Every structure is written in structure tokens, then in C-alpha cells.
Amino acid sequence: MAWFRLRFQLAESLAPAAEALLEDLGAVAVTLMDAGDTPILEPDPGATPRWQQCRVEALFSLPADFEAIRHRVIAAGFQPDDLQADFLEDDDWLNRWRQYAVEYCFADRLWIAPKDAPLPEGAQERFVLRLDPGLAFGSGSHPTTRLCMEWLAQELPEPNGSQELRLLDFGCGSGVLALAALMLGATDVIAIDHDPQALLATADNAAYNALADSRLRIGDADILTGEAPFDVIVANILAAPLIELAPRIVGLLRPGGRLVLSGILEDQAAAVAAAYPELAFQASALQADDQGGHWARLVARKPDR
């Protein structure tokens, strides 16, 4: 199957009208991309920001009256000089998604692997977290996720049936850190996020990995009301919310508990650490990723009373 593809550039303020027009014309997909070099790294919670200049790509299934579609778009005034139209051959989109699949071992102990992959050589099934290939934040491929996974695999004790460990995944995304903690022996895990889609993804991944049991609770921040402090908190989000939420995060950590922060750039680490004056950061608290980027992880301990 082939597709008719229409591409053009426009100002951010015109994006909603363009999307509405293209959908009215029968587009099966409308994608907005950055038309310049203006990455959006830290949107506000719940916000859906767009770039100042957007590149729009719309796909129409065939047969489509592409001359009429072009005419309508031009008549609407959406950058007619930049209008490009062509045909796009169908592709094996499932295998395209596979480029995001991760098969990786952390601390010689914990594996991440695609759902349909065979058991990695030398791995124990109970320490293999299986995820769908997909977005970087949920697959384990992003450097900040790997930094947190490596810490969990190194620091969480082997399950022994008697030692209890309560862990909070603050901003859980796909739930990868919460589920890894359960596999590694945490006995009580809460995964929270302000995005309902993240909570659904966490629940789905928990069910697939047979971890949707009484040890795991999933919800928004309201679920923390009345909760006892945690032994470990992992927060792989962004610098701005880590700074803003510092008092609340510290209040959720028990004396002697450990805090793992990531989702921050190396040059943001000092400002983030300064927002937690009550905590004792490790002497080598800053751990940069090993994938050629500039992401960092901070680890701190709350002093005992």
C-alpha cells in the first residue's frame, strides 16, 4: 500500500488550524516536527508545547484526490511556496520500531529485553524485564533510564524473604524502574505519574511481566497521602521539577533512605543538588552516562536522626 504525503512549514500559531483542516480533508495521520533547531527539553507538567516553526506532515490513504487536497491547503494560506507532495511506499513499521528495542544487562544481574526475544544467554528468567520496542523513555534505551537501572541493579539487595524495602518511582513513565525494583527484591513499590497514559503503560507492563500484584501500587500523587516514608526514591524526570518538588521528595524519604535523581544534564546537576541541602550527596555523586551524551545521575542519603 502507498500513501499520499503532504508536507509544509508554518508558524506555531497556525498549527491547530492546519491540523483541523487536514483531518477534515481525510488525513489518517498528522505529525508536527521541529522546523528549526529549537528542542523543547522541559515542558511544564500537563503542557503540550510546540516549536515556533513547525513542519507538518500529513498522510492520506489511496485513492485520494490529491489535487483537491493541495488546492484546499494552498487556499487556506499555509505556506504554499513550501508545499511538497509525494507518494510514500508502505513499510514494515513493526521492524522500524525494533530499532528502539533494547537487550541490555545491568550490573551482570538485571536484563531488559524485547517481549518476543529469546532468553538472553546466561540470564535468569526472574531477572529479565520484557518491554515492547517503543519510545525511548519507556524502553530502557535512554541514558537517564540506564543510569537509574544500573544503580538499582548494583544497590538493591538480593531477595531473602525477610528484608523489606519500600521504593517510590516518582514520575514512573512506563514503569520500567518500578518493575525493575520489584524484580530485584523490593517488597512495596509505588509508581506515580501525572500523565494517565503513563499509568496505563505501567499497569500493562506490570501485567505482562507478572508483577501486577499486591507489592505494586500505581496512581497519581494523591496515592501518597498517608504513606510512610520510603527506603529508596528514584526520580528520573527533569531538572526544573526536581528542584521545585525537592521539599516534598525529601519529606517522603525515611532517615537513612537513599535518593536517586536523573533526567538532568551534567551542567544542571549542581543546581539540583543545591535544592536538597538536607541530604548528604555521595562524594562522587555525579555519574555521567556512557553513551556520549551529557546526562547525569545524582545519589544522596538522608541523614539518620
Alpha carbon separation from 104 to 37, 40, 109, 205 (Å, rounded): 31, 28, 10, 17
Taking residues 271-294, what's their average pLDDT? 79
* Integer angstrom CA distances of residue 233 from 170, 182, 186: 7, 13, 12
Give the C-alpha separation, 114 to 121, whole Å: 14
Pairing of strands 128-131, 110-114: parallel
CATH number, domain of 238, equals: 3.40.50.150
Over residues 272-285, the mean pLDDT reads 86
- Count CB-CB contacts under 10 A for residue 237: 21
Which cell is 243 given?
Answer: 528542584
Question: Which of 132-141, 147-156, 279-288 is the least confident region?
Answer: 132-141
Query: What is the pTM (predicted TM-score) of this model?
Result: 0.71
Last residue of a domain, one of 47, 73, 90: 90
DSSP string, 31-91: EEEESSS-----PPTT-----SEEEEEEEEESS--HHHHHHHHHHTTS-GGG-EEEEEE--
The answer as to whether 114 is a domain residue is: no
Q: Are residues 147 and 86 in the same domain?
A: no
Burial 190-209 (b: 16+ CB within 10 A, else e): bbbbeeeebbebbeebbeeb
Strands (DSSP E) contained in the chain are 2-11, 29-34, 53-61, 84-89, 104-106, 110-114, 128-131, 166-170, 188-192, 216-219, 230-236, 253-265, 280-281, 287-288, 295-301
What residues make up the domain containing 206?
143-301
Residue 176 Rama label (left phi>0; alpha psi -120 to 50; beta): alpha
Lowest mean pLDDT among 23-32, 84-93, 119-128: 84-93
Across the chain, what does the average pLDDT equal? Answer: 83
What are residue 13's phi and psi, to 5 degrees?
Answer: -65, -20
pLDDT winner (highest mean) among 5-9, 103-107, 272-276: 272-276
Could you tell me what percent of the chain has a pLDDT over 90?
39
**Count of other CB atoms within 10 angstroms of residue 216:** 21
**176 — pLDDT class (breaks 50, 70, 90):** very high
Residue 99 lies inside a defined structural domain of this protein: no
Residue whose entry in the numeric block shows the C-alpha cell 511538497:
84
Which is higher by pLDDT, 88 or 105? 105
Which of 65, 90, 115 is the last residue in one of the domains? Answer: 90
Residue 126 has pLDDT above 80, yes or no: no
What's the rounded mean pLDDT across residues 33-37? 66
197-206, 215-224, 287-296: segment of lowest average pLDDT: 287-296
As a whole number, mean pLDDT of residues 199-205 equals 91
Q: Could you tell me the maximum CA-CA distance found in the chain, to the nearest angstrom?
A: 74
- The pLDDT, as a whole number, for residue 133 is 54
Question: Does residue 255 share a domain with residue 172?
Answer: yes
Task: Specify whether 174 is located in the same domain as 294.
Answer: yes
What does the pLDDT look like over 218-246, one tens digit per residue? Answer: 999 999 999 999 999 999 998 999 999 99
Stretch among 13-27, 48-62, 84-98, 218-232 having the lowest mean pLDDT: 84-98
Best CA proximity match to 29, nearest among 59, 6, 54, 52? 59
Question: What's the pLDDT at 231?
Answer: 96
Split into its structural domains, the chain has a count of 2
Of 295, 129, 114, the C-alpha closest to 202 is 129
pLDDT at 136 over 50: no
Residue 96: what pLDDT?
Answer: 58
Residue 250 in domain: yes
